[in-house]
Structures are given as structure tokens and as C-alpha cells.
């Protein structure tokens, strides 16, 4: 099994690039085209494909529709992905309203918050009381959650939802969460992303 996160991220980028190429009317693609589109190298593209047993045609490149089918299957995009959002603060609400997920086959079924003032069962993405989250996860068979609660609430929230069946968490709380048995946690730490950028900008400035 491939455990290289960057490799999987590249697959997503290939997929996105292929849709763009397809929209432009292309039917086939060569490894170097694809490399250009995603800022990689032709070797890397072919290597990545070979890792997943994806093959093209000597001198003929890869047929885009077949390639997309295979990538989509690897990335689990052959079925609608149901997701919930925990925390209806600024970030959580923005994610619930964000249109970008839909066209990727990712559907946010509900948001959950502890604050009664935030509850709204009639909005496009209903916002429900946190007490209902366990039942909701079980009833809908949800595996993936986005966590956008304050740091102090994060660990407890993760334990609650993993107990109910969540297997993957995209964590926006600015805090490393202790691993929970049987649940993968990917952290998106906005402060750290910015700090990182600032570091490299400063390094560049010093070089010059």
C-alpha cells in the first residue's frame, strides 16, 4: 500500500488537471503535459502511475477518460462522500457554505455546534445541536468529519465522534490532537501555514 501522502496529493492534482484538459477538448495526454500542468516531472508522473498499476500506451500517451476513471476510483470519488462539520464558528460556517466541495463529490450533510444560538435546522446545511451528532453519524453512516472548534474543545470532540464511527478527521483546531485508535487525523493549521510562509519569505529576503 502506498503511504506517501505527497504521492496521493499529486494524484489529486493530476485528476484536476485532467478535467481541465478534458474541458479544453483533449482526449489523450502525455506524461510531460501532465507534469507541466501540475508542476512536476514526467518521470514522477509515470512513476506515480506505475505505483498504482496505471498504464498508458507506448507512443500514445494516456487516454484521459480512462485515466480519470482510474484516478477517481483510487481517490474514492466513485461515490458521494458524506461529511459533517463540527463547530459553526467563522471557519466552520465558511466551510459549510463553501461551494468547492460539491463539485468534488463531497457533500456536507450537517453542521453541529454546542451553542443553541447557532442551531438552524432549515438552512441549506442544517446546523444541529452537538448532542445529536452521534445519532446523526450512525444514522447516515458518516466516516469523515471536519473539525472547526476552539482548541480546548477539540480533543473531546474527536473522542465523541470517533466513538460514533468517524474514521477520518480534517482538523482546523490549532492544536495537535492525540491519535485516536482507528481514526486518521489530518491537521490544517492556518497559523502554522502562515508562519511557514513568513519564514521562507524572510529567508529569501536574507539571501538577496
- List the x/- string, 8-47, binding to a second copy by CB under 8 A: xx-xxx--xx-------------------xxx--------
If binding is defined by CB under 7 A, does position 59 make contact with DNA? yes
Residue given cell 501532465 in the structure block? 34
Least separation in angstroms between residue 9's CB and a second copy is 6
Measured from the Cβ of residue 52, the count of other Cβ atoms closer than 10 Å reads 15
What CA–CA distance (Å, rounded) separates 184 from 167?
6
Number of residues that bind DNA (CB under 7 A): 26
For residue 101, the partner it binds in a second copy, DNA, none, with Cβ less than 5 to 8 A by kind, is a second copy
**Beta strands 106-113 and 127-129, pairing class:** parallel
Instruction: Indicate the residue among 65 and 151 with the shorter CB distance to DNA.
Output: 65
Look up residue 141 and give its DSSP letter.
T
Among residue numbers 56 through 75, which ones bind a second copy (CB under 8 A)?
A: 74-75
Q: What is d(CA 206, CA 189) in angstroms, rounded to the nearest whole number?
A: 26
Do residues 165 and 138 touch, judged by C-beta distance below 8 A? yes
170 binds a second copy (CB under 8 A): yes
CB 44 within 8 Å of CB 35: yes
Strands 144-147 and 168-171: parallel
User: Could you say which residues in the range 109-128 bind DNA, by CB under 7 A?
Assistant: none
Residue 153 binds a second copy (CB under 8 A): no
Toward DNA, which CB reaches closer, 56 or 92?
Answer: 56
Give the three-class secondary structure for 143: coil
Contact between 14 and DNA (CB under 7 A)?
no
**How big is the CA angle at 116 (ends 113 and 120), to the nearest 5 degrees?**
75
Binding site for a second copy (CB under 8 A): 1, 3, 5, 8-9, 11-13, 16-17, 37-39, 74-77, 81, 83, 90-91, 93-95, 97-98, 100-101, 104, 106, 143-144, 146, 167-170, 174-176, 179, 182, 184, 186, 188-207
Amino acid at each position: 500500500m502506498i503511504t506517501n501522502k505527497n504521492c496521493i496529493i499529486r494524484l489529486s492534482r493530476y485528476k484536476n488537471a485532467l478535467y481541465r484538459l478534458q474541458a479544453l477538448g483533449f482526449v489523450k495526454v502525455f506524461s510531460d503535459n501532465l507534469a507541466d500542468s501540475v508542476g512536476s516531472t514526467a518521470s514522477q508522473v509515470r512513476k506515480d502511475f506505475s505505483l498504482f498499476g496505471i498504464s498508458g500506451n507506448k507512443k500514445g500517451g494516456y487516454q484521459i477518460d480512462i485515466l480519470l476513471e482510474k484516478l477517481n476510483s483510487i481517490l474514492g470519488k466513485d461515490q458521494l462522500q458524506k461529511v459533517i462539520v463540527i463547530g459553526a464558528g467563522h471557519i466552520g460556517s465558511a466551510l459549510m457554505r463553501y461551494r468547492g466541495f460539491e463539485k468534488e463529490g463531497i457533500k456536507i450533510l450537517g453542521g453541529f455546534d454546542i451553542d443553541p444560538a447557532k442551531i438552524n435546522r432549515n438552512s441549506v446545511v442544517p446546523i444541529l445541536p452537538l448532542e445529536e451528532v452521534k445519532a446523526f453519524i450512525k444514522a447516515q453512516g458518516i466516516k469523515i468529519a471536519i473539525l472547526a472548534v476552539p482548541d480546548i474543545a477539540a480533543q473531546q470532540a474527536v473522542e465523541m465522534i470517533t466513538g460514533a464511527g468517524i474514521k477520518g478527521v480534517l482538523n482546523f483546531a490549532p492544536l495537535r490532537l492525540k491519535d485516536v485508535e482507528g481514526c486518521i487525523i489530518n491537521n490544517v493549521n492556518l497559523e502554522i501555514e502562515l508562519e511557514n510562509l513568513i519564514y521562507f519569505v524572510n529567508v529569501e529576503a536574507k539571501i538577496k
